[in-house]
Amino acid sequence: MTKKTSCSELAIMGSVPAFTSPLYVGCPNIGDRQAFLARVNDILDRRWLTNNGAYVQELERKLEEHLGVKHCIAMCNATVALEITIRALGMSGEVIVPSFTFVATPHSLQWQQITPVFCDIDPTTHSIDPRRVESLITPRTTGIIGVHLWGKPCAIEPLEEIAQRRNLRLLFDAAHAFGCSHNNRMIGGYGDAEVFSFHATKFFNTFEGGAVTTNDDDLAARIRLMKNFGFAGYDNVIYIGTNGKMSEVSAAMGLTSLEHLDSLIELNHRNYKAYALGLGDLPGVRLVPFNGKNSYNYQYVVLEIDSEVTGIDRDLLLQVLHAENVMARRYFFPGCHKMEPYSSHFPHAGLLLPETEKLVQRVMSLPTGTAVTEEDINKICSLIKCALKNGDKLTNSIRLGKEVPCAS
């Protein structure tokens, strides 16, 4: 189908969708199938499927080299990696975190009966605002968790200064930030430790998985014990632990993905530039920028929609796109502080989170990755332009149930 240019051509108004099948945010990237299947056959021949096999060890070594860190501990997923690292760091009492993050971040604390104290964000960077962190520190505070959103480093140095001065642990949730850098250093070696996600929806995936990186020898040793029930050799349990091990088939997928890392980032960057070209001049639409100081993975294409300018709010624009089979997503709606159990525990938390509460109403993420072509992106941009050109009329027609003629 050709690009849609008039309101009446939109699927939400009864027309045929622009795409015959859904385009998702985070559709999995698949590397060289034959290389992956060769590794799987080797795993089956060895009959060593888990428990720190050869492929897990190889992946850890290669990630240590790529990230420039002393230790990389592969995990079954990033949530378990967060939980184990929080416990290994000795966090307790209260830990300061942003509410504008995936719910796994505070859940990894609450799961261990540690209270997440929600901090507001900087409206420009979308990351935790270090200027607000200090006011939240109490005698019960033991740590800070910063989140590198969209693959952009959060305010690392200010958080490090606060943590060092106040004798707090500092952990970074780097689920979005694999392959990204800060001040000519790869994300992975900052704070006490950093946690990556290699979930299927991430541009670099191991099917399901994650990793902890650190330059602290003692911390790495504790995490390795804890991810394997506390075993230190055959029948020798010396520490509390659980099962956080990555399987061999996941590591095989990771090694295959790693071989295509540069090309995946290049493709993401190409997609980002295509969106920037298509959407860069739209009033009321801000494409989250990436400056030239660092390297990025470009796995998220994030828009802020200012409904006062566009005449159409973010949620209605999502309805328009979903009707076209463009499955754009809200992030991180409605904010962790409005999810359970936090909304019951802290019913007035929003009073201290004004920027978070505004941002969750404005942000959306668009499809990218290997499942999206430049032609697809051009169509998506034309759909957004068409919706915005008719913003007021669409709002009246859809929200108020009125028949309103659309502009051409």
Q: How many residues does the chain have?
A: 408
Give this prediction's pTM.
Answer: 0.95
Strands 285-287 and 71-75: unpaired
pLDDT at 143: 98
pLDDT at 404: 42
Residue type, 296: Y
**Which of the pair, 407 or 157, is modelled with greater confidence?**
157
pLDDT at 408: 39
Question: What's 90-116 look like in SS3?
Answer: CCCCEEEEECCCCCHHHHHHHCCCCEE
Residue 396 gets which letter from DSSP? I
Q: Which domains are assigned to the chain? A: 7-26+261-328+367-399 (3.90.1150.10), 33-258 (3.40.640.10)
- Whole-angstrom distance, CA of residue 80 vs CA of residue 27: 23
Quickly tell me which residue has 């504790």 as its tokens: 222
Quickly tell me which residue has 């009329």 as its tokens: 393
Percentage of the chain modeled with pLDDT above 70: 97
- Whole-angstrom distance, CA of residue 53 vs CA of residue 62: 15
- Whole-angstrom distance, CA of residue 179 vs CA of residue 267: 14
Cβ atoms of residues 19 and 379 within 8 Å: yes
Q: For 258-284, write each residue's pLDDT tens digit.
A: 999 999 999 999 999 999 999 988 999
- Whole-angstrom distance, CA of residue 202 vs CA of residue 150: 11
Whether residue 400 has pLDDT greater than 70: no
Phi/psi zone of residue 357: left (φ > 0), alpha (ψ -120 to 50 degrees), beta?
alpha
Handedness of CA 269, 196, 57, 61 (dihedral sign): positive
Longest dimension (CA), the chain: 75
Q: Helix, strand or coil for residue 59?
A: helix
Residue type, 167: N
- Whole-angstrom distance, CA of residue 318 vs CA of residue 375: 20
Q: For 317-372, write each residue's pLDDT tens digit.
A: 999 999 999 999 999 999 999 999 999 999 999 999 999 999 999 999 999 999 99
